Structure 1
Amino acid sequence: MIKKFKWILSILAVFILIVPLISCNKQEETYTLRVGEVTHSIFYAPQYVALSEGFFEEEGLDVKVQTTWGGDKTMTALLSDGVDIALVGAETSIYVYAQGASDPVVNFAQLTQTDGTFLVSREKIESFSWDQLKDTTFLGQRKGGMPQMVGEYVLKQHDINPQKDLNLIQNVDFANIANAFASGTGDYVQLFEPTASIFEKEGRGYIVASFGEESGSVPYTTYMSKQSFIKENKEAIEKFTRAIYKAQQWVDTHSAEEVAKSIQPQFEDTSLDIIETVVERYKAQQSYAKTPLLPEEAWKNLQDIMDEAGELPAEVNYSELVNTSFAEKVISE
């Protein structure tokens, strides 16, 4: 009887030792996710906060971000499995869907909710009005992308016909637009940050208006993935969305100075004061979404803007290309 009791104790002791090891291994399971961002910008501050503040790590994620420079290149990387998740304008998912994709690209988390570009003038203007753009050369963004469509939408709201009232240039690659303006092309240019503020600090251009303030709420940049990838990696997508939500809340509740210090390692060539200025500007116009939930009204506004620009191939139902289940779950926790 005593031998049997000792044998049972031995088994229990081994079990007690093994269980923590199993739990530990389960906790240490890490998902690797490759994210392709359409450009590298302070406009995406919550993503960099998620990296710097360890929110991805807390969720057991190893997130590798690469800049894919432009919507077309970003979608090519996603569709060819070069990346798992794309951070890009929501309009790209509509383009893919319209081409009859058997594995559509689905938006599952929103990062920014306004346009992130600014109108930069070559000359300093004390009192700017939109009609001053008439009969000038405007260096715009790539045709068919959200910056260009929002840009034209805003111009039309101010009774400016982009094709008739100004000399519109749209044949410059996304990555080269700033260099083209710096080299003397255009009287006005549509730029992202921090480039716009850097140009202003260096006296090479002057911010005169915000396209984000003018255009209203729109799913400007969202996280999306192929439908098949989402189905096969639900836990990883949920963890990713939760980390982004934590970062969004962190950005919302911390000062521009604190956000700037957190993301500065991502922008080593940009001074801290410029980063802080840009963050403050985006926070003031509520460009950073406070939750990853993409609202249906914003989806409608997106398609209205695309339609106005003549770039909407077909109207797509909200439920067709937007999956809100992950965002709703992490928000409700």
Structure 2
Amino acid sequence: MAESTQGRYVEPGQEFNRDTNYIEDRITRDGRDGWPVEAGRYRLVAARACPWANRSIIVRRLLGLEDAISLGLPGPTHDKDSWTFDLDEGGVDPVLGIERLQQAFFARFPDYPRGITVPAIVDVPSGKVVTNNYPQITLDFSTEWTEFHRDGAPDLYPEHLRAEIDDVAEKIFHDVNNGVYKAGFAGSQRAYERAYDTLFTRLDWLEERLAGQRYLVGDTITEADVRLFTTLARFDAVYHGHFKCNRNKLSEMPVLWAYARDLFQTPGFGDTIDFDQIKKHYYIVHSDINPTGIVPKGPSDTGWLTPHGREALGGRPFGDGTPPQPPRAGEEVPPLRD
């Protein structure tokens, strides 16, 4: 089976393989790929339901890039062809004037052969997609868009820690971020159990690593924490049941659960999470796994607001910087539900 918008492909009896071929153009200060950094020119299209897109929403918030890069929010579900703007009036993105993200891809590549993925950055004047290379998008927000960072923006990718951040992030990608998908979309019992074992071995490693330090690398929030958080935020709501990652819940791993709550309660993280959209996406779109389309009512969300005690480990969430301001009008998420 294949699902183009998710960039996933698996045959019965085989392991899940993610298509990691993305549009590699970058938006840089020197404009070497033809896309110079320019406030107001680009629109980030990022569905709240998607963990890969959620990263870019968080980094945009933390760095204060809201005035420089606008945000388009597709709905939580999509068809086999494209993410759609069904949350907007008339089902049309108010800035790009399109109903489907696919239109921006086809505006640049009429025969674009790959999945229509989020996050994607679109050049507003031309209506053409610039890039959907999600790992590079957040790094470039940190390193190429510094002119437009808010006062007090944190350094999420400090130069002296980049090698360690990259190493930790790579492990997390293969075993956790993508690991839950390897389990959920496994084409055989053997492939599933291998992915399951790898996932929980890495989660145990993270549990041990974070027992004595507040953040993954150094004493401040970095890109590595952003990348882990979006998977942890979806774990109990989706991955534990829907993807059969059920050795235990996140809420049954005391260190990781406290770490995840610490980040959730940090401005810029929890205020980007919409659990209703997350559940609708996975349980409705993945009809091969959940053919009834029934979306679970639970679990309760309010546990995310309980005390975590991680302050005792020290650390400075924003380093020498400050928290971001509350989300701007139109970018808020609904309150948590019991």
**Does TM, scored on the shorter chain, surpass 0.5?**
no
Based on CA coordinates, which of the two structures has the bigger radius of gyration? 1
Answer 1 or 2: which has greater helix percent: 1
TM range (shorter): 0.3 to 0.5
TM-score normalised by structure 2 residue count: 0.33
Whichever structure has more strand as a proportion of its residues is 1
